[in-house]
Amino acid sequence: MPLIPKFIPQRRLARELVARANERRDAGRFLEAAALYVEALRFLPHRGDLHVQAGHMFKEGGDLARAEQHYRSAERLMPEDADLALQFGHFLKVAGRREEAVTSYQRALSLRPEWTEVREELVRLDGLSDQPATYAETVVLDVGAEAAALSASLGFTVQRDLLPRPPAELLHAHREGIEIRSLGRSERSNWGTRRTLRGVEAVRGFCISPTPLVEVLILVNGIARHRGPLDGGHEIKREKHRPELMKYIFNAWIDFSLDLPGRYDVGIRITDVKNRRYTHHEEIVIQPALTEAQYPQLDGIVEIDAGDPRPIEQQINERPSQIRSARRALLAEAPRTILVQRIDQLGDMVVSVPALRRLRSLFPEARIVGLVSNANRDLASDLGLFDEVLVTDFPEDWDQRRRIMPLEKQRELVEMFKPYRFDMAIDMSENGWARRVLLLSGAPFLYGFRAGDDVPGLSLDLEGNTHDRWNGYEVVPHTNKMLGMMEWLGALARSEPNVVRRTHPSDEALASLGLRPGRRYAVVHDGARLLFSRWPYFNALAEAILRETDLDVVMLRDDQSKGPGLSAELENSGRFSLMPPRLSYDAFDALLANCAVFAGNDSGPKHLASLRGAEVVSIHMARTNWNEWGQESSGYIISRKVPCAGCMIHYDAEECGADFVCLRNITTAEVMQAIKTVLAESVPLSDPARSEAG
């Protein structure tokens, strides 16, 4: 009998470990990635490339001793690999071991004599012999003892991570090569848990190179799907050793909606001016596209017309922006039929009673159906908390050490669920066993405790734990956790406007700003904490408000020196006022509370205007979700659908690669449309504070 089949599961497990390690690596969680590569090497000890990856991750995580162990192991397995000799040279240079680094670079050059990059490294090392203390010397300091002594002298436990770091510690040795910032999302499928692409996606990232890069080519199973230039080169912030390194950005929008579901290889090739290549390969899964009709509130889901001859970027950029009402809720409407799972033991049912009562109070009109085990059947029926009780078997298999449900039982359960057309399904179990039973319900909204990355499909999850100081286990009754679960659902399903009106008199504060008594005005605020999140057309918007409405316009600027200068139309208008950069709180608050409409970026003043009950039109870029950070009372939120929505770019604005079209392509006409609509819909409210003052 052949022995090979016995090893197939181990190989599959190793592939899963490597895939997860790659995810952690790309997320910057270096030591976690290192641990997963090491685990994969237990099954694939002959893979020198995995030793290299483990070495890279330990190096990035600061564990230079373990990094060296893996580089040495890779060297034994791949003695003629020139790239490994180069990478080992980089490591030794970072570790401050100059002579050994020179030896490793010379070995790389002997294996590939034409390699210009290695020659350049050797030239650079000639000037490093008199450098001060290296990274390798700083990481071995006994910082724990130092912090303990400092804490003892000050009388409190010093939190070292909160202290500012010295400039030298902010430097980082960046590596040449491709870094992926966006390539689908991790999903579990029939092909395993992998990065998954659906419909129109943004393949986004950057490449670090000492030589100019001219082209990025993205291939799927060897077939070119995108070819174009890169944006760059941008200076790399806080580079430790190589100032010549530059960053080049790509943000390619590709339509995968016509690809058949399955596993594919994505290859990224980036070519420099010397015709050298950087490459990245990754196994991904393509699944059916999600539609805008299914998820109208999500800006990252974008559909295009496959028959439209225009480039995909043009199709998306020429679409109108989304103008949505600020009034929104997690649930579009109260659920009519709710499934609650408690398919475990009698004790689990007992501790759930207060939570079930709270669920009933949250949705008093809903039909609540309980899915319970035989152990819970009688109590569930007797409590009177369910309108109907369904029973299923979900036994624990002691050989497999988990609960299982055969195929026919799953089919039976799906057929049982169909007539109910559940709007919501809730799993009250804390482990992941029952979570996949929840997926059989057919409900569009699924809720349960967070149970790991390998449990997909929840619309809302909860992770609320207390901790025993010694063993880390829970210290409150499970009854309280179950009740907290329903309170969390109630809090997130809340849809009341967040309005606290101003109660102080406003006339004096407004008069101090030079505003004309009795005149209605719009506030235009062009500031935002992040410079790149500022919409660039506020001057044109102010002019349009003056032309197309009878409102005066008051402009707020965080910094008068930034942004375009005022046009002659604004400067010469008696209805326009530019406020000083720093108003008193009382004047600022009165200004926002009494305006007819506020228009601005996603910013603090926008939120305060909304809190004070003003009508707000906010201009929201797609780095964060509009429905998370949009105002919570009235007015409108304007955003754009783009495949790269949710980029979360914060410090490194150059990494957009698309010139922030999610913000720049919102037009003045679209903002004016929202302003006119909100003015037509609003009823002027008297200011209680001003009435009291009068």
Q: Each residue of 388-437: pLDDT tens digit?
A: 999 998 888 888 888 888 899 999 999 999 999 999 999 999 877 788 89
* The predicted structure's pLDDT at residue 694: 29
Given phi > 0 = left and psi -120 to 50 = alpha, else beta, which region is 52? alpha
Give the Å distances, CA to CA, from 182 to 249, 481, 656: 12, 36, 11
pLDDT above 90: percentage of residues in the chain: 56
Q: What is the pLDDT of residues 365-388, one digit of tens each?
A: 999 999 999 999 999 999 999 999
Helices H, strands E: what count in the chain?
26, 25
* The predicted structure's pLDDT at residue 86: 87
Instruction: Check if the beta carbon of residue 295 is closer than 8 Å to that of residue 301.
Output: yes
Q: Look at residue 620 and tell me whether its pLDDT is greater than 90.
A: yes
* The predicted structure's pLDDT at residue 143: 52
* The predicted structure's pLDDT at residue 136: 35
Least confident of 251-255, 257-261, 395-399, 690-694: 690-694
Instruction: Check if the beta carbon of residue 341 is closer than 8 Å to that of residue 329.
Output: no
Longest Cα separation, the chain: 98
- Compute the average pLDDT of residues 199-222: 96
Q: Between 102 and 215, whose confidence is greater?
A: 215
- Compute the average pLDDT of residues 661-690: 82
Residue 126: burial class (beta carbons within 10 Å; 0-12, 13-18, 19+): exposed
User: Rounded mean pLDDT of the chain?
Assistant: 87
* The predicted structure's pLDDT at residue 160: 75
Closest CA to 589 of 692, 683, 691, 501: 501
Q: Look at residue 82 and tell me whether its pLDDT is greater than 80.
A: yes
CA gap 634, 680 in Å, rounded? 13
* The predicted structure's pLDDT at residue 157: 84
Q: Distance from CA of residue 542 to its chain's centroid?
A: 34
Q: Which residues partner with 279 through β-bridges? A: 269
Q: What is the pLDDT of residues 105-142, one digit of tens each?
A: 888 888 887 777 777 777 666 544 433 333 333 333 34
Give the Å distances, CA to CA, from 551 to 105, 229, 677: 70, 46, 14
Q: Distance from CA of residue 654 to its chain's centroid?
A: 18
Q: What is the pLDDT of residues 268-300, one digit of tens each?
A: 999 999 999 999 999 999 999 999 999 999 999
Most confident of 95-104, 576-585, 612-621: 612-621
User: Residues 66, 70, 74, CA angle at the centre, nearest 5°?
Assistant: 170
- Compute the average pLDDT of residues 143-153: 68
* The predicted structure's pLDDT at residue 145: 62
Check if 337-492 and 507-693 are the same fold: yes
The CATH architecture one would assign to domain 507-693 is 3-Layer(aba) Sandwich (3.40)
CATH placement of domain 4-145 = 1.25.40.10
CA gap 92, 121 in Å, rounded? 12
Three-class DSSP labels, 339-368: EEEECCCHHHHHCCHHHHHHHHHHCCCCEE
* The predicted structure's pLDDT at residue 32: 85
Domains of the chain by residue range? 4-145, 177-289, 337-492, 507-693
CA gap 657, 231 in Å, rounded? 6
Tokens of 494: 């809340």
CA gap 560, 578 in Å, rounded? 9
Instruction: Check if the beta carbon of residue 345 is closer than 8 Å to that of residue 373.
Output: yes
**Homologous superfamily assigned to 177-289:** Immunoglobulins (2.60.40.10)
Q: Which residues have CB under 8 Å from 392's CB, separation 6+?
A: 343, 371, 372, 373, 409, 413, 416, 437
Instruction: Check if the beta carbon of residue 463 is closer than 8 Å to that of residue 449.
Output: yes
* The predicted structure's pLDDT at residue 132: 35
Instruction: Check if the beta carbon of residue 427 is closer than 8 Å to that of residue 447.
Output: yes
- Compute the average pLDDT of residues 347-361: 95
CA gap 216, 72 in Å, rounded? 33
pLDDT above 70: percentage of residues in the chain: 91
Residue for token pair 């797609």 = 622
The CATH architecture one would assign to domain 337-492 is 3-Layer(aba) Sandwich (3.40)
Q: Which is it for strands 322-325 and 277-287: parallel, antiparallel or unpaired? A: unpaired
Alpha helices in 418-457 (DSSP H): 435-438
The predicted model scores a pTM of: 0.76
- Compute the average pLDDT of residues 207-223: 96
Q: Look at residue 500 and tell me whether its pLDDT is greater than 90.
A: yes
- Compute the average pLDDT of residues 70-88: 88
User: Cα-atom radius of gyration of the chain, to the nearest Å?
Assistant: 30
Give the single-character DSSP code of 316.
H
* The predicted structure's pLDDT at residue 139: 35
* H helix or E strand, kind and range, residue 615: none
